[in-house]
Amino acid sequence: MIEAVILDWAGTTVDYGSFSPIYAFEKTFRTYGITPTIEEIREPMGMLKIDHIRTMLKMDRLTALWREKYKREPNKTDVLELYKVFQDEVFQVLGEYSTLKPQVVETVQILRERKIKIGSTTGYTNEMMEIVTKKAADQGYKVDYWVTPDMTNAKGRPYPYMIFRNLEYMGISSVRNVVKIGDTVSDIAEGKNAGVTTIGVIDGSSIMGMKQADFESLPENEKKQKRQAVRKIYQAAGADYTIENFGQLPDLLA
């Protein structure tokens, strides 16, 4: 019996394609004279944002660019300064990029009718989530509980602690009765480390990285190819299942 689903936010339930962090990370690094590629930005998606910056600075190409510009290796102070800039940048776009993805409200209503509780985890901070959850609530989407790395001693994904906090709060009897749903490899790793069933969302995911209008304008054969490419990434990460969109979730859980 499924007692709870634990949902991610950007790229999973809101922000089709997960673009708000992309814009913020790109502007942040450009402020320091470094231009990351979209692929470099997206690779650590789902992590605590300061860990995301640390991971990017360890990438060979970005480390080399930093070394060339500043004549030294990036250090802890650089991470903190970049993170301060990122926070300023992301707060400017969070509200704009908190639109719900298709079928989220309808699907959550079906789950609630089945007495399934709705939890959530994120790579955002508490302060960021105050903005995102308010925007989501205005559109008809509320969760029973949300947890950020701020609430788990800065141990975000792939650590399992945010999931465990959800389960404790909601009084869930066993990890065997829980499903984690997300749109990044970090989401899948978080779920696996917590011992719960994992599901990767394909359409509108960070892995696919496309805006809704752009994806929907593709010919059906190209949509199929892109979905299959994302599905393979989830499978390689160990996901138990994949769904193309939220409308497929109730049948899968049943």
Q: Which residues are annotated as a binding site for Mg(2+)?
A: 8, 10, 183
Four-residue CA torsion sign, 80, 128, 38, 231: positive
Q: Tell me how far CA of residue 162 lies from CA of 18, 65, 169, 229, in angstroms.
A: 20, 34, 11, 28
Tokens of 161: 């602690």
Of the residues 15, 49, 187, 203, which is catalytic? 49
49 catalytically annotated: yes
Q: Are 12 and 118 in contact (CB under 8 A)?
A: no
**Crossing angle of helices 49-57/76-93, nearest 10°?**
130
Is the omega angle on the peptide bond into residue 74 within 30 degrees of 0, that is, cis?
no
> Distance (Å, rounded) from C-alpha 179 to C-alpha 167?
11
27 catalytically annotated: no
Cβ count within 10 A of residue 93: 17
List residues forming the annotated binding site.
8, 10, 183
Of the residues 8, 15, 187, 203, which is catalytic? 8
Give bridge partners of residue 180 from the DSSP assignment.
6, 198
Residue with tokens 């510009």: 69
Amino acid at 148: T
> Distance (Å, rounded) from C-alpha 107 to C-alpha 137?
15
- Residues labelled catalytic: 8, 49
